[in-house]
A = this chain, B = another copy of it.
Amino acid sequence: MPELRRDTIIGRWVIIAKERGQRPYDFVIEKDKTKGGFCPLCPGNEHTTPPEVLAYGRPHYSPNGPGWTLRVVPNKFPALVIEGDLNKRGEGIYDKMNGIGAHEVIIDTPRHDETIPTMSHEQLIQTFWAYRDRILDLAQDSRFRYIIIFKNFGRAAGASLEHSHSQLIALPIVPHRIQEEIQSSLHYYEFKERCIFCDIIRQEKSQDIRIVCENKNFITICPFAPRSPFEMWLMPKEHQSSYVSMDDNQFHLLTDLFLETMQRLNKALPEVPYNYMLHTAPLLSPFLQHYHWHIEIMPKVTTIAGFEWSTGFYINPTPPEESAQFLKEITLE
């Protein structure tokens, strides 16, 4: 059983997932598994993944068969397991609980060689629908407090499979970084009676020096204090704390702007590895006046990450105004 352990000093929880099977000597040589060879995410290989929990696009009911346009399956090597009790307990001054949760893989497309910037609107919107549908389903499990959704693209960003996919982790705790955001934005709200993200959007609109692109409902900016070159935040323009509150029209507009954002990035830095992560309100408090859902996109362009990762202190050689201008001026077909 994996374990969730709390860093007793700063309160960060980590998953100790020894079932993932790496022993100390396994780390000596790392292999590149992303290129070539058998792909368990491709159509025809459905039997090699755990049974699907969601699929779109099949004309007839035939779970785990071909014909799908998007498919969600449990991770074959999950960091957390779905069955069992949390059994929260101490070990002296330390705190831990069983590693209960869900770890799923959203297979964005049946096409092995398709990446987000080359997807159609019709394909990509299914990924965003799947995020909502899985959150709504897993939110019914009273053990869960937060659902992290993210994508690793490229080996340098942590992808272990080449075929385009996102990942979902349902957790019995709210991650440290999200807690920080929520607490800090609450503090701001108590002081100002305004959402800090709404204030950021207002200022970005008026300064107009860090906007990458926007449409009626959404805006992509390079944030004022980015951790890395080309970091971007995509946010709804009107206050909305939970991703699952979006209506049909918003899903279309989100898809449009996300596609444009990723096409600009890909044209600036072809096939650059990246991570993105959905930041949304916790499951037990979806409607917050002070919090605003958004997607953080982090291209992995510098290798100084090692130090920054371990210290939380960032040195960024590119001002966000330059990143934004560069991305904004790109001509898309």
Interface residues of A (CB under 8 A from B): 3, 5-18, 20-24, 27-28, 30, 79, 91-94, 148, 150, 152, 155-158, 169, 175-177, 180-181, 184-185, 196-197, 199-200, 203, 206-207, 223-227, 229-230, 268-270, 272-273, 275, 277, 296, 298, 300-320, 322-323, 326
Contact = CB atoms under 8 A, between A and B. Distances in A.
A302 B270 CA distance: 25
Contacts of A5: 224-225
A300 B306 contact: yes
Contacts of A199: 93
Contact of A317 (B12, B13, B18): B18
Contacts of A312: 12, 175-177, 180
A27 B302 contact: yes
Given A181-B9, A302-B27, A303-B156, A315 B79 contact: yes
B8 A224 contact: yes
B14 A315 contact: yes
A149 B169 CA distance: 35
Nearest to A15: B315
B302 A24 contact: no
A24 B228 CA distance: 11
B317 A17 contact: yes
Contacts of A230: 24, 27
Given A15-B316, A27-B302, A314-B14, A6 B225 contact: yes
B305 A309 contact: yes
Nearest 9 CB-CB pairs, A to B?
A177-B312, A157-B306, A5-B225, A158-B306, A27-B301, A7-B225, A14-B314, A298-B310, A22-B317
B9 A185 contact: yes
Contacts of A79: 315
A92 B204 CA distance: 10
A158 B24 contact: no
A327 to B, nearest CB: 8
Nearest to A20: B317
A209 to B, nearest CB: 10
A202 B287 CA distance: 44
Contacts of A17: 315-317
A106 to B, nearest CB: 14
A234 to B, nearest CB: 14
Contacts of A317: 17-18, 20-22
7 contacts: A15-B314, A24-B229, A24-B326, A27-B272, A150-B307, A158-B306, A227-B310
B94 A224 contact: yes
B277 A311 contact: yes
Contact of A22 (B13, B181, B196, B229): B229
B314 A12 contact: yes
A296 to B, nearest CB: 7
A294 B30 CA distance: 30
B307 A158 contact: yes
A177 B226 CA distance: 16
Contacts of A316: 14-17
Contacts of A225: 5-8, 12-14, 16, 94
